[in-house]
Amino acid sequence: MEQYKPGLHLLATFTAPETALQDIEACRALFDRLISANQLVKVGETYHSFPGSGFTATVCLTESHISIHTWPEYGHATFDVFLSNYKMDNEPKVRAIYNAVIGAFTAVEVNRHEIRR
């Protein structure tokens, strides 16, 4: 049996403009575009808005998941992208998605963790 090949999980805590942290539809469109561009397979998703505040979302992929939770009242968000390497090395895709999200939110990273798991 082949050995399990750990995938890369990137976790950001970032600050961003309040308007971006409230715009659930822009986030959904961004995630869908990135999932499609990176040929990932979405098997389910939840996007949930908090009235007058931020939103929370998880996207379940055959390759693992993407999540974001925003607190516009603090200018704060947490964002994760984790892709396993079951069929191929997905590390470049993790980094591409991460960078695209940071860019789209004009985010400033408070911290970033990189975990291979």
Q: 10 Å Cβ neighbour count for 94? A: 23
Q: How far is the CB of 99 from a copy of itself (least distance, A)?
A: 19
Smaller CB separation from a copy of itself, 56 or 96: 56
Quick one: how far is CA 44 from the chain centroid?
14
Contacts with a copy of itself, residue ranges (CB under 8 A): 1, 3-4, 6, 9, 11, 13, 43-48, 50, 56-62, 64-65, 67, 69, 71, 73-74, 76, 78, 80, 82, 84, 86, 111, 113, 115, 117
Smaller CB separation from a copy of itself, 19 or 41: 41
How many Å apart are CA 59 and CA 45, to the nearest integer? 4
For residues 111 and 14, the answer to whether their CB atoms sit within 8 Å is: no
How many Å apart are CA 64 and CA 81, to the nearest integer? 8
Q: How far is the CB of 70 from a copy of itself (least distance, A)?
A: 11
For residue 47, the one-letter residue type is Y
Q: How far is the CB of 69 from a copy of itself (least distance, A)?
A: 5
